[in-house]
Structure 1
Amino acid sequence: MNVAVILVAVFFAGMGVAALVKPALIWAPFGVAPTTPDARNEVRAVYGGFGLAIAALLIAAESATADFRDGVLVAVAVALGGMAAGRLLGAVADPKPLLRWPGFFFLVEAALAALLLSAR
């Protein structure tokens, strides 16, 4: 198993478990609190379920055919790159957040995307 792929899978699994167990933890760094059942459900679905699904997919891809594995790594890297790009585009309208948590997550997302692409 590739260490880079496992590292990215652990990141997604951690995000997923945190979102399912304590949804407020996910949005807290951004000054947002999921105060309604609908908001907590959204956090659990988008960050929890998605995070665990991506982690499972990355782990499964490690024992799959080379073509399937490469497809998974590229798809997840593109998703992470899209998240990072969204943060950069958001900085055009609101530049200060990149100096706080959004900037940190921009770096994490960009680094994880690069890790996956290098693991191909």
Structure 2
Amino acid sequence: MILIAAIAFLAMGLLALIAPQRITRMVGLSTLPMAARNEVRAVYGGFGVAMGALLLLSGRCPHWQPGVVLTVAMALLGMALGRLVAWGVDGRLERFPALFLVGEAALGIGLLLTL
């Protein structure tokens, strides 16, 4: 599960760094001003790559791994919780956010189960 989560973060992160509008197009934002592209690259790209790399590197540092796994799991579950709140406030959850919610919850719970 750690490897799956690492690959998911790395894939999302690299895509966001290279083509930020491919990420935002999934949620209805087809064009982004420069500042918004910077934000997507930082939050989805840089954060995603860092989390993926940290998960991979934690295998080489067994004393770090439980803390890394717990931290990343909680980040994922926090994202899922944010989507649930948005669903409650907005009254609906569109397709891609719903898929992201399922993926974040599954990866977060899966990571917790490795502890």
Q: Same fold (TM over 0.5)?
A: yes
Matched-pair identity in % = 42
Matches within 5 A, 1:70-109: 70-97=66-93, 99-109=94-104
Tell me the TM-score normalised to structure 2 length: 0.94
Residues in 1 aligned to 2:39 and 2:66: alpha-carbon distance in whole angstroms = 30
Structure 2 runs not aligned, ≥5 long: none
Tell me the CA shift for residue 34 of structure 1. Answer: 4.4
1:10 aligns with 2:7: yes
Aligned to 2:44: 47
Residues in 1 aligned to 2:48 and 2:31: alpha-carbon distance in whole angstroms = 18
What's the secondary structure of 2:21's corresponding residue? helix
Q: Deviations over 1:69-88 (max 9, x none)?
A: 10000000000000001111
Structure 1 runs not aligned, ≥5 long: none
Residues in 2 aligned to 1:17 and 1:118: alpha-carbon distance in whole angstroms = 27
Residues in 2 aligned to 1:92 and 1:49: alpha-carbon distance in whole angstroms = 29
Letter in structure 1 aligned against 2:3? I
Residues in 1 aligned to 2:50 and 2:67: alpha-carbon distance in whole angstroms = 16
Distance 1:34 1:42, change over 3 A: farther
RMSD of Structure 2 on Structure 1 (CA): 1.1
Tell me the TM-score normalised to structure 1 length: 0.90
